[in-house]
Amino acid sequence: MASTDSKDDNTLDDLVGRDYAAGFVTDIEADTLPPGLDEDVIRFISARKSEPEWLTQWRLDAYHGWLEMVEPSWGQVQFPAIDYQSISYYSAPSGDQPKTLEDVDPELLATYDKLGIPLHEQAALAGVSEPQQAPTVAVDAVFDSVSIGTTFKEELRKAGVIFCSFSEAVHDHPDLIRKYLGSVVPRGDNFFAALNSAVFSDGSFVYVPENTRCPMELSTYFRINERNTGQFERTLIIAEPGAYVSYLEGCTAPMRDENQLHAAVVELVALDDAEIKYSTVQNWYPGDEHGRGGIYNFVTKRGACRGDRSKISWTQVETGSAITWKYPSVVLRGDDSVGEFYSVALTNNHQQADTGTKMVHLGKNTRSTIISKGISAGQSSNAYRGLVRMNPGAAKARNYTQCDSLLIGEKCAAHTFPYIESRRRDGVIEHEATTSRVSDEQLFLCRQRGIEPEKAVSMIVNGFCRDVFRELPMEFAVEAGKLLEVSLEGAVG
Amino acid sequence: MSLLEISNLVASVNDQPILRGIDLEVCAGEVHAIMGPNGSGKSTLANVIAGKEDYQIDRGCIALEGQEITSLSPEERAHRGLFLAFQYPIEIPGVSNMEFLKVAVDSHARATGTPEITAVDFMKTARSAAEQLGLNPEFLKRGVNEGFSGGEKKRNEILQMLMLNPKVSILDETDSGLDIDALRTVANGVSEFSNPTNAVVLVTHYQRLLDHIEPDFVHVIANGTIVRSGDRSLALELEEKGYGWLEDT
């Protein structure tokens, strides 16, 4: 097809597939449970964390509920049956839990350094040049099943903000945990949430007191390291009246030939006038170019706008995982509350994504915005699935949904499944959807102007995602742009 | 000095021959017009010179400043000073014109080993070029060709040409879809750009563009070969007689 014997046959069919930079394994002694799941495993996890009896019981109840449930099959994804008895449900670096960051195994610190996540309390993220100007970010690092350390705890405590691992919160703030755990995502909500409720190991806990603006960005960095383990973390964020917090999670895993399961639950609670901004940059190992290996990312994320004028905003950039199944949602209970969902989901090679959101309008004058950008390359499949529901009490509720798909090459697929249920005559629901393609003409225009094909594709894709990247904290927007570039490498070429 | 030299160029699409032996020499300081009826191979010639894949070069060569370029990628040809203004400029949504131009200009600088222009100087140059073409500076912030009118798209092509300062510019039907005022603005931009060190090749169906940009040479393509070459008067002759009489010769 190429006109000449030019050294590169850069057409759109081939530009995807650089090495997955986070794919290394940390060689560290770990205490890992043998594979299998029964009551004893749950009691072991609970005992290992010295949990109170009520929580052990809570887990067991979830487990019994789970036994009665079946895996959901409605997703636009295909995978062989998961053998839940072949997964190990707990893995932690050997030795005592480190009390402070100084006690953390240097090998672990080096791991996070290599990933560009500094666990020392100096200014912020890798790639930010001027330390004195760099925004400070507090990090909770979760390695396999446990949190290995949280930075800037003291400084946050001065502001009244609690940011710690979930396990610590169970001990130090039992009343808050008991009050809010499972209050947004009930134990029996769905198959994966029930499994998580039974075996969750660690995660992050955030509490922002009344009328407090959290003084820095909070971030949790999840890392799966051990073979054959699943990761089941739980995150709970509570914003009291008038509070504000911006939170970011990042995720990576080593390259392995087998699939690994990640089934997390995230619960957000915003009271009157509170605002929670939750951003995700998800880069779990996606599997190789033949579709071998990769993470199954089956996650339940939901926020409750309980208070009047409260606001919850989800922003996600999903580039990793073999399969992504997640629908960060907002239940708009408070009057005048606002829910937002901004998503970029990129699939390449054999990746599959079925992702979107649910906006459930209960209160008066509630508003929601959904901007979803799906990018499919290689032989991947990318589906947007979204529900907008206006209940009878949701007077004058409004939703705006914009759902765009971008195709790169000829072998990928994009699907859109919007569900709209309105019980109000005065509700306003707008839905716009487009599908477009990175065309050879766009690529030729760029190349004729001297722009290399890989740069051109990444520029075109970044332009497509602009409306979502605008919502990310600035330093993460840059990271997200770079991540797209890496994930697309080889998609043309 | 010869900037662009094409000899015995034979090219096809899907085994359908389109160009059947083109010879053309364009020297520094010259303006050439390539005219011809629809389907004669004018646009194919422009795209083949720029290196569009989809076209198979069966024979012949294309040289830029004496160097064979048929084995080079489109971006390498661009870096050596070849520019093509597209007949149908395509949209790149969400990528601002400014960003696009900066990336293009930086790519050229990197490829040619010249220092990158500073952001401030770049903005100044881009603004003044836009102004010259009668474009509001706000235009630079909009997505590339996104929601542009036909005239704006064509002016945007010329803006890119001014920013990249190529040796050889091929303008493919840049006059089509322009009203008379826009035509004049674009023609003025091209005339001012043309100088003794560069060359411009106008590919056009109508001679009205040539009222505004005086060509040194006019070539007529029919059935994939240049059937006539001459000066400005050839264009006027075509205007009068149409293309039909050529095909009989």
Which residues in chain B are contacts of A13 at CB distance < 8 A?
none
Q: Does an H or E element contain B191, and which?
A: helix B180-193
Q: Rounded to a whole number, what is the distance in Å from the CA of B100 to chain A's nearest CA?
A: 8
Provide the mean pLDDT of chain B: 91
B60 → chain A, closest CA residue = A4
Q: Do B108 and A8 touch (CB under 8 A)?
A: no
Map chain A to HEC letters. CCCCCCCCCCCCCCEECCCCCCCCCCCCCEEECCCCCCHHHHHHHHHHCCCCHHHHHHHHHHHHHHHCCCCCCCCCCCCCCCCHHHCECCEEECCCCCCCHHHCCHHHHHHHHHCCCCCCCCCCCCCCCCCCCCCCEEEEEEECCEEEEECCHHHHHHCCCEEEEHHHHHHHCHHHHHHHCCCCCCCCCCHHHHHHHHHCCCCEEEEECCCCECCCEEEEEEECCCCCECECCEEEEEECCCCEEEEEEEEECCCCCCEEEECCEEEEEECCCCEEEEEEEECCCCCCCCCCCEEEEEEEEEEEECCCCCEEEEEEEECCCCEEEECCEEEECCCCCEEEEEEEEEECCCCEEEEEEEEEECCCCCEEEEEEEEEECCCCEEEEEEEEEECCCCCCCEEEEEEEEEECCCCCEEEEEEEEEECCCCCEEEEEEEEEECCHHHHHHHHHCCCCHHHHHHHHHHHHCHHHHCCCCHHHHHHHHHHHHHHHCEECC
- Contact flag B108-A5 (C-beta cutoff 8 Å): no
Q: List the single best residue of B15, B47, B75 to mutate versus A (max A Cβ within 10 A).
A: B75
Task: With beta carbons under 8 A apart, name residues in chain A contacting B43.
Answer: none
**Segments of chain A scoring below 50 in pLDDT:** 1-18, 122-134, 493
Q: Per residue in A3-43, pLDDT tens?
A: 333 333 334 444 444 456 666 666 666 677 788 889 999 99
Cβ within 8 Å, pair A459-B95: yes
Please tell me if residue B89 touches chain A, with a CB cutoff of 8 Å.
yes
Determine the average pLDDT of the residues in B78-94. 94
Interface probe with B: pick from A5, A445, A460, A462, most Cβ of B within 10 Å: A445
Domain boundaries, chain B: 2-248
Amino acid at B205: H
Instruction: Write the residue in B71, B84, B104 that is nearest to A4 by C-beta.
Output: B71
| Predicted local distance difference test score (pLDDT) of residue A67 | 93
Contact B143 A465 (CB under 8 A): no
Question: ipTM for the complex?
Answer: 0.95
**pLDDT value of position A1:** 34
Q: Do A450 and B79 touch (CB under 8 A)?
A: yes
- Of A1, A450, A464, nearest to B94 by CB-CB distance is A464
Residues of B in contact with A451 (CB under 8 A): 75, 103-104, 107
What residues of B are in contact with residue A464 (Cβ under 8 Å)?
93-94
pLDDT tens digits along B27-77: 999 999 999 888 889 999 999 999 998 899 999 999 999 999 999 999 999
User: Which residue does chain B place closest to A463, by CA atoms?
Assistant: B94
**Domain B2-248 is of which CATH architecture?**
3-Layer(aba) Sandwich (3.40)
> Could you give the count of Cα atoms lying within 13 Å of B247 in the half-sphere of its Cβ?
11
- List C-alpha distances in Å: A72 to A77, A78, A350, A470: 11, 11, 21, 34
What's the gap in Å between the CA of A440 and the closest CA on chain B? 9
pLDDT at A227: 64
Question: What letter represents residue A389's amino acid?
Answer: R
B-chain CB neighbours of A441 within 8 Å are: 90
B196-212 mean pLDDT: 90
Cβ–Cβ below 8 Å for B89 and A6: no
Rounded to whole angstroms, what are the CA distances from A170 to A166, A197, A202, A236, A379? 6, 14, 10, 11, 44
Considering only the beta carbons, identify the residue of B48, B99, B107 that sits closest to A450: B107
pTM of the model: 0.80
The alpha carbon of residue A344 is apart from the nearest alpha carbon of chain B, in Å, by 14
Q: Do A466 and B94 touch (CB under 8 A)?
A: yes
pLDDT of B86 reads: 95
Among residues B182, B142, B134, B138, the alpha carbon closest in space to that of B162 is found at: B134
Axis crossing angle, helix B150-164 with helix B119-132, rounded to the nearest 10: 130
With CA atoms as reference, the chain B residue closest to A450 would be B75
Q: What is the pLDDT of residues B106-150, one digit of tens each?
A: 999 999 999 988 888 999 999 999 998 988 888 898 999 998 988
CB contact under 8 A, B103 and A459: yes
